[in-house]
Structure 1
């Protein structure tokens, strides 16, 4: 799939301009079909807002909207290749980080923050490490 770059006019807000541009190019026979489109936005909120504008446009013009796939810049790389194995979930990723950090040298001051000495918090002599 070839990517096409189009530049929108700077004289109006970006998302309404994008919604109008998409409507002009993807409306045929009362169908606003974006099913083959992959829209990449800077954040999830922008994606939701653009979808809202597309729905509004379709409603105002009595069009049937076929929604696009919207995603954020952070999730784009996974769309650009076929993974050989499934991606690790959050728990597995966290466990991998813990294992990697445990294998690093304990006294590597360049990458590890200093641990503060224990400080007496209460008058009873109990201490809490503050870091």
Structure 2
């Protein structure tokens, strides 16, 4: 996962790279979180992600050794007018941000990875900026 460059925070991206020797079939992906005292939820997935799918790699995608697939998500999903974090208290927002994960779904298994601290920190800073208003 990479932070947006040069101050642009419109999209965030996740890159899936096949570092093995076998060809993999990537069937889907999802951005996931957990609510405070709640169960895990799917924020966005390859099936519901319409705007970003215009820019993201098409699925299913065959990944040979060293090949990559890139998927995008709009920043507004967190701090836009109807963003996920807008109505949350600072504690709830912090918990949700700290629990963010990305799951890649392959034909034979699922791989889940926590969103890097640098990205979580960037989302937290955006949340604080929106809260100041």
Higher helix share: 1
Question: Of Structure 1 and Structure 2, which has the larger fraction of its residues in strand?
Answer: 2
TM-score, normalised via structure 1 length: 0.27
Name the TM-score, length of structure 2 as normaliser: 0.26
Structure number with greater Rg is: 1
Higher relative contact order structure (alpha carbons within 8 Å, sequence separation ≥ 6): 2
